Amino acid sequence: MAEEDLEEQIFEIISNVGTAKSCFIEAIQEAKKGNIEKARNLIEEGNRSFISGHKVHHQLLEKEMGGSPITISLIVLHAEDQIMAADSFKTIALSFIDLYEQLHQKK
């Protein structure tokens, strides 16, 4: 795999999961304002971006398992860190949305 192709794929991962994380954070803010439906829509939008980034990551893993070694660099580690961070934010966002939904229903 050419170094340029690898870098492009890694930046695709970072971009997609970064968008996902932003959607998850924005979802919490919308839920806090009582916009539960908008918050859930942002979760779905974030899920689509996360899945896109995760697919690219999975493709890289398959290539490496097929015998095409991928150079582990700081940028690869950063991409994987961003995947984990976005996934964690999703979990947190879903909990906050449920909490805010309950709070707004009691008002």
pLDDT per residue as tens digits for the range 48-77:
999 999 999 999 888 877 777 666 777 888
Q: What per-residue confidence (pLDDT) applies to 1?
A: 57
The domain segmentation of the chain, as residue ranges, is 3-106
Q: What per-residue confidence (pLDDT) applies to 33?
A: 97
CB neighbour class for 23 (10 Å; exposed up to 12, middle 13-18, buried from 19): buried
Q: What per-residue confidence (pLDDT) applies to 43?
A: 98
Task: Calculate mean pLDDT across residues 80-97.
Answer: 96
Fold entry, domain 3-106: Methane Monooxygenase Hydroxylase; Chain G, domain 1 (1.20.58)
Q: pLDDT averaged over the chain? A: 91
Q: What per-residue confidence (pLDDT) applies to 57?
A: 92
